[in-house]
């Protein structure tokens, strides 16, 4: 172990901080879109 490990932890942290939000946002948007489509389909089927 030496001072260089600080650079290593920051590098891994930055990589995680960039990729994880992109991943989570994509999955959340997927869920929201599926819900919206399901609601619209349900509304459509209730139309006279």
Helix (H) or strand (E) holding 48: none
CA angle 26, 42, 34 (to 5 degrees): 5
Instruction: Tell me the C-alpha distance between 38 and 46, whole Å.
Output: 13
Q: Rule CB under 8 A: is residue 46 a binding residue for other proteins?
A: no
Binding mask 13-32 for other proteins (x = CB under 8 A): -xx--xx--xx--xx-xx--
Contacting positions for other proteins (CB under 8 A)? 1-5, 7-8, 10-12, 14-15, 18-19, 22-23, 26-27, 29-30, 33-34, 36-37, 40-41, 43-44, 47
């Amino acid at each position: 172990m030496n001072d260089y490990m600080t650079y290593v932890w920051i590098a891994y942290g930055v990589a995680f901080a960039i990729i994880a939000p992109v991943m989570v946002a994509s999955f959340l948007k997927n869920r929201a879109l599926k819900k919206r489509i399901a609601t619209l389909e349900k509304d459509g089927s209730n139309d006279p």
